[in-house]
Chain A
Amino acid sequence: MTEANAAAISDERVKQQSGLRKALIRPELGGICGTIIVFSLFLIFAGDSGMFNAQGMMNWSTVSAQFMIIAVGACLLMIAGEFDLSVGSMIGFSGMMIAIFTVTLEWPVWQAILVTFALTVAIGGLNGYIVVRTGLPSFIVTLAFLFILRGFTIYLPQIIERKTIIGGVDRAAEGDWLAALFGGKVLTGFFTWMGEAGIIDVFERGSRAGQPVVEGVPMLIVWAIALVIFGHILLTRTQFGNWIFAAGGDAQAARYVGVPVNRVKILMFMFTAFCATVFATCQVMEFGSAGADRGLLKEFEAIIAVVIGGALLTGGYGSVIGAALGALIFGVVQQGLFFAGVESSLFRVFLGVILLFAVILNTYIRRIITGER
């Protein structure tokens, strides 16, 4: 009915919008433009450096996937109107807990992982509970947890093992069903086939001669893609997604129509902690060890990815796809500068410039969409 009616009762004060403009005006536009620019630049300046062969692509995909995992949590939480500055410390803390449980207490790895998830998600819930009950800004509450969790992450291994890095998780994790879900690789058969068919390079000598240079897709990337799809569907296609927007857009207005705002916010804090723990578990399974300094500054990297992706810092607006693109830009730039042979400290300069441009573009788009003036 909408088409016919709209034409019949068209209002002279509602301007017609072209289809192209409508298609372009979306929260992810900044992220899409950024991704195109970044890929074009590196195709030009690092196209022949190996950045875009199988090994190179796996390299920056893995780094981007790391950012994506924590960006999905940060994105949903930011849209719900809150921040979590304890993500980085949570990564360090959960990795350390897994290592202590498996190495010091000699628990089976699956048990260590499950208990760690329960513990960290509970801490995330506590973060959220304190925020909604006290009404304090989440900035302050989670800043406190940034220090509390980091403090424990440094203190615990020192009194237990007298060192700040606990290794040996990889030996304990061999053959563990749950560890494989975080540290394993999938599609190995497909990559072997691609190696045999000559689509990707194979090792030419050494003990692994004949095997493809890329064995398979690490579970880290599978988790990243799964979380992005889950987050995107949750946000845009479910009732709960509407509540996330409502809680961040105007908590009081949402409460008045019966949206359980406190529950939404607490659940989002728990989800952010969950994402941080997924990141940490993948990292621990990959390195076989946990270090007290893991995850440092990750909270800001997550927030930057989310903001590049078009989310509004004050909540109520944003996109998981955008955040994922922000994470992709982040990963490609960080690894691409290495391939392009640029001094790696320039990474920060580049990132700052992209951040600034993306945010200016996003602010402009948002004004068009929402009629802010």
Chain B
Amino acid sequence: MSSTHAPIIQMKGIEKHFGSVIALAGVSVDIYPGECHCLLGDNGAGKSTFIKTMSGVHKPTKGEILFEDKPMHFADPRDAISAGIATVYQDLAMIPLMSVSRNFFMGNEPVRRIGPLKLFDHDYANRVTMEEMGKMGINLRGPDQAVGTLSGGERQTVAIARAVHFGAKVLILDEPTSALGVRQTANVLATIDKVRKQDIAVVFITHNVRHALAVGDRFTVLNRGKTLGTAQRGQITPEELQDMMAGGQELVALEDSLGGTV
């Protein structure tokens, strides 16, 4: 489907070593615009290290990152953000004590000039925040409402809306659904679908196969710092994905004893 156009990010043979620990041992993934690319893996598989490499937090020990066909070297997350790679972290998306609009524009504050003074343009920030949240289907009491009063799913949605508003071409979501209830998860998955339709590439990290299959176009499984290949939607069953994540054999034995409920 989306493989007709050129990939927006190509990660080629990425290796990352922390001292003597090899966190990533050569991972290659292509991400296309308008697709939801699910990155699956168990805890410790290297998912977080991989996306932190993509978002400029870590520099790869070996390997190449091509962004829109040009090699990229991100010095810090700010570089990646200005290139159009936005990351929404599971717990660290929002600051609960601050208002929604202050959070929304954190790091990208709109500025209005009054003589020599450059002031935070609260009117603009409040208006845009209400509009963007409305588009995502969240009703705020007001833009000055503290993020702490929102639910977990709503917070993720604010963070996603923020990334989209600031022109993200690639949106990386680090386990956005892992701490959420059923209904909130559905909201976040619906948001992912809305974002994908705007031709933004979504990288969705999860270890929940059902969440991945609900929205994913392609699936890449990481295991022990290596990729076990990328599969298209419809070419793979949930059981196969689950097996690949767990590294095959071990889960088969477990599944037998649990009667296939995992």
Contact = CB atoms under 8 A, between A and B. Distances in A.
Interface in A1-59: 1-2, 5-6, 9-11, 14, 17
B105 A249 contact: no
27 contacts: A2-B130, A6-B139, A6-B142, A9-B139, A10-B139, A17-B141, A237-B120, A237-B122, A239-B118, A242-B102, A245-B95, A246-B107, A249-B98, A252-B92, A253-B89, A253-B92, A255-B77, A257-B77, A257-B81, A259-B106, A316-B95, A370-B96, A370-B97, A370-B148, A370-B149, A371-B148, A371-B150
Give the top 4 A-B pairs by smallest Cβ distance, nearest first.
Answer: A371-B149, A249-B95, A257-B107, A239-B109
B105 A9 contact: no
Contacts of A242: 98, 102, 105-106, 109, 120
B92 A246 contact: no
B95 A246 contact: yes
The interface size bin for chain B is 35 or more
B197 interface: no
Nearest to A259: B107
A10 B150 CA distance: 16
A332 interface: no
Nearest to A235: B120
Contact of B97 (A243, A252, A257, A312): A312
Interface of B: 77-78, 81, 87, 89, 92-98, 102, 105-109, 111, 118-120, 122, 126-127, 130-131, 134, 139, 141-143, 146, 148-150
A368 B127 CA distance: 24
Contacts of A252: 92
A178 interface: no
A6 B131 CA distance: 11
A106 interface: no
A158 interface: no
B97 A238 contact: no
Given A6-B142, A257-B81, 19 more contacts: A5-B134, A6-B139, A9-B139, A238-B120, A239-B111, A239-B120, A242-B98, A245-B95, A245-B97, A245-B98, A246-B95, A246-B98, A249-B98, A250-B96, A252-B92, A255-B77, A258-B107, A371-B149, A372-B96
